């Protein structure tokens, strides 16, 4: 749940990058970390295994500066993608103001994407949140891979984007689409705040 304080004029929002294992959630955060000036970001915290797979979460706080006179900060989290880490995934999802679903565009990963989307839905429900009401954007990552290996954004929209939310093509490793995705979810989250429904 976002924290909005009208006395100190501060907004803090929690955004969770969700998706199947190795879809590029941590890579999104690494790219953001690398591009945001030191003064506007905190340390990136990674609770990872020895082989750099996310164990609990990655965390990156960023300072967006003044928005409508409010000092605005975002807390970016990733969840561990592997199926057996569902308990920790559910914990990280608690209190999320917005979700970025990072899908792996490879054709052979389609089932994993669908399974992860269903898992997102059931974990949100466990927190009493309907997936249809939470701000959500989709990112189709790894669109830089050879065409024969991947599905097009249009195909992925057909397969995954039931809510017809904003979707973004991305190559998170090189940064393509990372900024657009963050901007997309930021707008949704703040619009919801502005409407006074998420406070």
Which CB atom, from 63 or from 157, has the smaller least distance to another protein? Answer: 63
Candidate ranges 17-25, 35-43, 131-139, 161-169; the one touching another protein (CB under 8 A) = 35-43
CB 90 within 8 A of CB 122: no
d(CA 100, CA 8): 28
| Residue 46, H or E segment | strand 45-48
Q: Least separation, in Å, of the C-beta of 171 and another protein?
A: 16
Encoded tokens for 119: 């898992």
Q: Site for another protein (CB under 8 A): which residue of 21, 46, 48, 63?
A: 63
For position 8 contacting another protein by CB under 8 A, the verdict is yes
- According to CB under 8 A, which residues from 82 to 101 bind another protein? 87-88, 91-92, 94-96
Which CB atom, from 53 or from 73, has the smaller least distance to another protein? Answer: 73
How many residues belong to the site for another protein (CB under 8 A)?
Answer: 56
For position 28 contacting another protein by CB under 8 A, the verdict is no
Which CB atom, from 69 or from 146, has the smaller least distance to another protein? Answer: 69
d(CA 122, CA 134): 13
Encoded tokens for 92: 């990280």
> Percent helix, strand and coil across the chain, each rounded to 5?
35, 30, 35
CB 113 within 8 A of CB 74: no
Say if strands 136-141 and 167-169 run parallel, antiparallel, or are unpaired.
Answer: parallel
Q: Which residues bind another protein (CB under 8 A)?
A: 1-8, 10, 12, 14, 35-37, 40-43, 45, 47, 56-57, 59, 61-70, 72-73, 75, 77, 87-88, 91-92, 94-96, 179, 182-183, 186-187, 190-191, 193-196, 199
């Amino acid at each position: 749940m976002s924290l909005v304080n009208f006395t100190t004029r501060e907004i803090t929002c929690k955004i969770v990058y969700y998706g199947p294992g190795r879809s590029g959630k941590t890579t999104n955060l690494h790219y953001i970390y690398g591009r945001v000036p030191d003064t506007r970001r905190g340390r990136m915290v990674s609770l990872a295994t020895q082989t750099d797979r996310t164990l609990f979460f990655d965390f990156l706080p960023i300072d967006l500066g003044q928005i409508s006179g409010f000092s605005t900060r975002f807390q970016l989290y990733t969840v561990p993608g592997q199926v057996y880490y569902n308990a920790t995934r559910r914990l990280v999802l608690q209190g999320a103001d917005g979700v970025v679903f990072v899908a792996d565009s490879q054709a052979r990963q389609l089932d994993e994407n669908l399974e992860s989307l269903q898992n997102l839905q059931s974990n949100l429900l466990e927190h009493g949140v309907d997936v249809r009401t939470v701000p959500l954007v989709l990112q189709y990552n790894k669109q830089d891979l050879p065409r024969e290996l991947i599905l097009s954004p249009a195909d992925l929209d057909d397969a995954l984007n039931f809510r017809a939310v904003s979707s973004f093509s991305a190559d998170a490793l090189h940064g393509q689409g990372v900024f657009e995705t963050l901007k997309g979810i930021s707008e949704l989250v703040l619009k919801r705040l502005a409407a006074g429904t998420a406070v």
